[in-house]
Each structure stands twice: as C-alpha cells, then as structure tokens.
Amino acid sequence: MRGKFPLISCVIAGVLGVSAGSWPEVRGQTLSETRTSLRTQLPAMFADRQWATPKPGSWTPPRKGDDGLPPVFNRIQTQDKVVFLTIDDGYEYDAAFVDIVRRERVPILTFLTTNYVKGHGQYFWALRNAGSRMENHTVSHPNMAGLSAEAQKREICRSSDTITAQYGRRPQIFRPPFGSYNQTTRQAARDCGVKSLMLWSAEFYNGTTSPRGVRGEFVRGDGGTGFKPGDIVLMHYRKGLAQDFTTLLGWIRQQGFRPAAVENYLPMSLGGNAPG
C-alpha cells in the first residue's frame, strides 16, 4: 500500500486543476460534490492531450540501426517549420510554467531524472495532464559512458520502473545525461524497454550560462543561428522557466516556426505514435 497515497493526492490535485506549490480551495464544497466532480473529470484527465499529427510523407523518421539496438537521433528530418521542445532533469519548479503550457497548449516532452523529482509528483502530474509524456533521464544523472553495463542498466531500468509506477506509462525514449552514451548504453536501454535515444540539435540555456558564458543563450549544435525545421531543443526544469519559455516561444513564432509534438514524428517502433 505504501506509495499509493501520494498518487491519490496528485490525482485529486490534478482534477481540481491546481498548480504545483499550492493546494486547491475546497472549503465550502461538500464531499459528494467533490466525488461527482471527480467522477466526471477523471476520464478527461487520464486521457493524454492529443496533438496535431504531421501530414503523411512530410517527414522522415530517424533510421533504425542495423544492429537491432535503439537508434540515436538528435533531430527529425522534415521541411515543416516545426521545432520540438524537450525539458530535462526536474530539480527546480516554476508553477507559472504549468499555466503557460496549459494556456498556450504547447507540446513539450519531459525527460525525468527520478532522484531529482522525489516529492514533486504533483508538479509533473500537472504537466503530464497538460500533454507532456514523461520519458527516461536516469535515476541519478551519471555520465553513462563511464559506468559498467550493470550500473547503466540499473540507472535506466529503475528510472523507468519509478516513472511507470507514478505516471502510468513506461518510458520508451531515453536521453543520456550530458549526451554521453556508448554501445552498452543502447543495450541497457533496450533491456529496459527503451526504443530510441533522443539527443538534441540545439540548447536554450535557460536559467544558466552557455559555454561562452552568456545567460539565456540559444546555441545550435551545428554552429548556425536560429531554428531549422525538425530541431530538437533542450531546456531544463529550472527557476524562471515560465519567463524563459515565453521568450523562446516568442523567438520560435517570430521566425515562422511552431512547436510540435515529437512523439507524432516517431514511429511506434521508436517509441512514438506514428505508424510503423
């Protein structure tokens, strides 16, 4: 039974539409009203939000490796002016961020480091309900390439087990911390039920400084500037995320791009929703 109570609290918090960090005002509401409300709203909240799917033929999914292991990719091949926003770790919280994701209906993908998010299930439940899948970013954020096969497997499998228990869906995409991985990482990922490894093509240094010391800088991996179709952008759960995210959305729209759901550009065999 242990472990059930936090989940139930999160469910109730989610149904009542509360943001992380505050509890809902339920005074004056009778228990039976609450029950009716739960009954009508539960089905809606357990359904993931549906995001627009791309036109067939408008993109090329990442290639599967010949070795049968989960492939590694850092962008999606497409001519559509779409970018994919991914947010990692989970060490710091900004309740206003949840409101923006909800209000603006922005598809995001979350990579959780499960040790970081202990005790903050409510925050990520709210994001899950706003349409973000919870994918795997290890238990303790190590440099995977420096670990034994056994240790790598433990980092990935235990993180997936925790995410499955807390959010009701087993992660199928893995992001290695620091983008560091080797062949053993791909084998460990496969053994833990992961279907692909997602890196990134650009990083927005929200709440921190880029390698050349600029706070809030947007840096492309290929050295270019601005967005390119199919970019996967890395951000982090940090303080001030709401404001930084708003800034990034502004840049994306200014350049004629829009955020899209990366899972809809990945076939099911790689952990996404698309056919194949």
Decide if residue 135 touches Zn ion (CB under 5 A). no
> Of residues 199-258, which lie at the interface with Zn ion (CB under 5 A)?
none
Main-chain phi, psi angles of 193, to 5 degrees? 90, 10
- For residue 76, the tally of other CB atoms under 10 A from its CB is 26
Decide if residue 89 touches Zn ion (CB under 5 A). yes
Q: How far is the CB of 136 from Zn ion (least distance, A)?
A: 11
| The dihedral sign for the CA sequence 16, 132, 58, 230 | positive
Q: How far is the CB of 234 from Zn ion (least distance, A)?
A: 8
Nearer to Zn ion, 157 or 234 (CB): 234
Nearer to Zn ion, 12 or 199 (CB): 199
Nearer to Zn ion, 78 or 159 (CB): 159
Give me the residue label for tokens 């499998």: 157
Nearer to Zn ion, 14 or 177 (CB): 177
Of the residues 88, 135, 203, 244, which one makes contact with Zn ion according to CB under 5 A: 88
DSSP annotation of 216: T
Distances (CA, A) of 147 to 73, 154, 178, 247: 22, 10, 14, 37
- For residue 80, the tally of other CB atoms under 10 A from its CB is 16
CA torsion, ordered 132, 136, 142, 145, to nearest 10 deg: -130
Decide if residue 177 touches Zn ion (CB under 5 A). yes
DSSP annotation of 47: S
Total number of residues binding Zn ion (CB under 5 A)? 3
Instruction: Name the one range near Zn ion by CB under 5 A: 21-29, 74-82, 88-96, 122-130.
Output: 88-96
DSSP annotation of 105: T
Instruction: Name the one range near Zn ion by CB under 5 A: 85-93, 96-104, 119-127, 260-268.
Output: 85-93
Contacts with Zn ion, residue ranges (CB under 5 A):
88-89, 177
